[in-house]
Amino acid sequence: MHTALWRDNTNIPLIGDNMINNAEYIKVEAAVRYWDDAHINGDPDYDGDKTPFRVGDLWCPTIRISDGMIEDWPQGVKADFHFKVCDAGMYYLLNNKKQAIADRMNDYVPSGLCHGDKGYGDYIIFSVGDDGFIENYKNLIDFGEWQEIPF
């Protein structure tokens, strides 16, 4: 069983704080099939060693839902992602304290992770500007696709 890389089990939310509609972030833990489907500052990343937020075989960014800003994005880095994930991703909705309130485990890529093209549930597709914001971002998260985490 996979344990989330970021979850701190000491930060259990209070009862009533786990409403999906309170989600402010989406945390991605996607098993990327081909790292060279990323272009970092215009160059293909053949081995994935230039891709921000790579942790082993996973790609693990945290995205602010309201405006598409990727947390802790390295300034000055531009990227284009067209990652094939299929059903090998784990995704979490986080509240304002960055506590998980809903998830999708080993499931299709959720709506809201493709901007500029259609991913059909198998791809994460978007570009990130050197300021850390997803280009042409719109909040397309469908909260009905998520399973609330019981506490």
**Confidence at residue 116, expressed as pLDDT on a 0 to 100 scale:** 73
User: What pTM value is reported for the model?
Assistant: 0.85
Residue length of the chain: 151
What are the domain boundaries of the chain? Answer: 20-148
Structure tokens given for 86: 């299929």
Cβ contact 49:59 at 8 Å: no
**Confidence at residue 12, expressed as pLDDT on a 0 to 100 scale:** 43
| Distance between CA atoms of residues 62 and 68, nearest Å | 10
**Confidence at residue 37, expressed as pLDDT on a 0 to 100 scale:** 93
- The Cβ-side half-sphere exposure at 11, using a 13 Å CA radius, reads 12
**Confidence at residue 76, expressed as pLDDT on a 0 to 100 scale:** 95
pLDDT one digit per residue (tens) for the chain, 151 residues: 333 444 444 444 443 444 788 899 999 999 999 999 999 999 999 999 999 999 999 999 999 999 999 999 999 999 999 999 877 889 999 999 999 999 998 778 888 787 777 776 788 999 999 999 999 999 988 888 899 997 6
Question: What is the phi/psi pair of residue 18, to 5°?
Answer: -110, 30
- Give ∠ CA 33-34-40 in degrees, rounded to 5: 135
